[in-house]
Amino acid sequence: MSGTDDPGVTGRIDRLADELTALGGLADPRWRAALHAVPRHRFVPRAAWAVPDRPGGTGFPIDLETDPAAWWDAVYADTAIATQVAEGAGDPAQPAGPWTSSCSAPGVVVTFLEALRPLDHHRVLEIGTGSGWTAGLLTSRLGPGLVTSVEIDEALAARAAANLASLDLSPHLVVGDGAAGDPSGAPYDRVHVTCGVDQVPSAWAAQTRPGGVIVLPWSPGWGIGHLAVLTVTTDGAALGRLSGPAGFMMLRSQRRPGGPPAASATGAKAAVAATRTDPRGLLGASPGAEVAIAALVPGVRAYAEMAVDGSCRFWAIESRADDPAWASVDFLPGRDDYPVHQYGDRRLWDEVETAYQHWIAWGRPDRDRFGLTAAPSGQQVWLDRPDQPLPL
């Protein structure tokens, strides 16, 4: 956290706010006011790793001591900033391991807050306090005594508490597993989730009033993930549509084993085939196809490895640690068909390609025609209406 305030900070916040407005966000002046009242630099470590929130944005170190101009520029740009690596075992300024906390990019933070649409006097539960910046923005918008934020990592929670206290903000901070919510503050009117979830924990709807709203990054593993805005029903379910991209680190208990499969270990046993389907259509090209594949082939995640010559390798891998099935497809420019390798007791490319064919047969619906219902009895993805669950 910076102890010094740059005299130009008001101008920096205004420029960032103007940029977000030009991109179609920040329509509500109360959030612009909150950005000023809760300046982001108070939540960013002096040495960290910044990644611009745009396709292909590559990361770079920032250090307030050695290059203050670059540090301030990154803090007041639409840039995500890693604040913890490998649960504290790694250095956020040189991240070799997975990010386990970040101060999310302002654009996505504002998009989520605007999707939440809290009304005056609403009680809000945030899952994933992280740096405390979002909890601070919510507290500034709603006032004292209305915001509860849960963070699973004790060290992060302590840092967030100090960051917030330096601005005289005191949301109720809880150290614990956010999957359980915080019954002591229920019923909530809004639940704001800032870590990715595949299966929506039922505690969140149970602790929310009927008509209340849960905003979350739905991250089923196939593709980056989707902003879901769910409304709570009287029978403890939550349902609503997917409305935009959302890439967040996962809720700890729903993390998946990381990285492409150890193909070298099992590659020799893979079955070899070929496909005429361009694999780029299944990942990255259409969010609607990603939703359909995630719903029809659950428990499978995807990676793409791109090369400068335009070729790429797509991986599909089962989300389990013990001997997962996997498939790879190589897109090679100029080829009529593409090599496929499949390993394990499932033929994952065949399953995924079939799901993609269903999506085409449905008329290639885009992401916002899909929705999610999370009920105590289970979760369903639907097309157009909750009574049309997948598979159709």
Q: Which CB, 131 or 328, lies closer to ligand SAM?
A: 131
What are the two backbone dihedrals, phi and then psi, of residue 295, each rounded to the nearest 5 degrees?
-75, -35
In this complex, which beta carbon is closest to ligand SAM, that of residue 128 or of residue 220? 128
Q: Interface with ligand SAM includes 153 (CB under 6 A)? A: yes
Q: Cβ 130 to ligand SAM, closest distance in Å? A: 3
253 secondary structure, DSSP code? G
CA distances from 35 to 4, 11, 75, 113, 124 (A): 18, 12, 12, 12, 18
Residues 6+ apart with CB under 8 A from 325: 317, 318, 342, 343, 344, 345, 346, 347, 348
**Contact flags string 243-282 toward ligand SAM, x per CB under 6 A:** -----xx-xxx-----------------------------
Print the binding letters for residues 76-105 with ligand SAM: x by CB under 6 A, - otherwise.
------------------------xxxxx-
**Cβ distance to ligand SAM smaller for residue 163 or 342:** 163
Q: Which of 104, 202, 286, 328 is catalytic?
A: 104
104 is catalytic: yes
Indicate the burial class of 272 (C-beta count within 10 angstroms; 0-12, 13-18, 19 or more): exposed
Q: Give the orientation angle of helix 9-22 with respect to helix 106-116, to 10 degrees.
A: 70
204 contributes a contact to ligand SAM by CB under 6 A: no
CB 215 within 8 A of CB 194: no
Between 2 and 104, name the residue whose CB sits nearer to ligand SAM: 104
Helix/strand/coil for 373:
strand
Which residue, 233 or 254, has its beta carbon nearer to ligand SAM?
A: 254
131 is an interface residue for ligand SAM by CB under 6 A: yes
- Containing 148, the helix (H) or strand (E) segment is strand 147-151
x-or-dash string of contact with ligand SAM, 328-367, rule CB under 6 A: ----------------------------------------
Nearest to 120 by CA among 140, 137, 142: 142
Binding site for ligand SAM (CB under 6 A): 100-104, 127-128, 130-131, 133-134, 150-153, 156, 177-179, 194-195, 248-249, 251-253
